[in-house]
Amino acid sequence: MRMKSCPRCEASIDDSARFCSQCGAPQNEEAAEELDQYVKRQAEQVAAGSGGGGGSGGASGSGDITAADVFGVAAEELTEREQLWRRGTYVLGYATIVVALTQITNPGAWLLLLGGIAILPPTRRLLGLPVGGTFKREAMAGLYVVFVVLGAALFFVL
């Protein structure tokens, strides 16, 4: 039995082997073409299984959490008002976090930090995943206000 080395990983393989036993790389054009066809079939099955995407749907049938579950629907699918709300909450949330981090030695900064995190859209979705949806914007805005008011009060008291 003759041996040759794999051009990809340099492992010793049988001369008649179509794929490397170490890294799985195809060893001839025919094997490479077969692998390419297999990958295309798998990609088509995955695309067909996802139902073509779209919508703000929950988790897929397998129970996996998708990026759409965490980050929500694509920006193109949001109304102008929803896009404005999302941009505003990102600005408000990150600005609050920056202010809190610059004053981190003050105990009130920790409440500001929590408020900044609470208003961010991904937080709203992540906290809502266990209950099967997202928390209402108004609830998260209320939570933000509570944290910011308590944080500001601690700033002035201490």
Q: Delimit the domains of the chain by residue range.
A: 3-49, 67-157
Confidence label for 122 from pLDDT (cuts 50, 70 and 90): confident
Alpha carbons within 13 A on the beta-carbon side of 47: 6
User: Which pLDDT value is given to residue 128?
Assistant: 72
End-to-end alpha carbon distance in the chain? 82
| Residue 27 pLDDT > 50 | yes
pTM strictly above 0.75 = no
Give the model confidence (pLDDT) of 68-121 as tens digits: 554 555 555 667 888 888 888 889 989 999 999 998 888 888 998 988 888 888
Q: What is the pLDDT of residue 12?
A: 85
Residue 57 has pLDDT above 80, yes or no: no
Task: For residues 119 and 3, give the distance between their C-alpha atoms in angstroms, rounded to a whole number.
Answer: 62
| pLDDT score recorded for residue 60 | 43
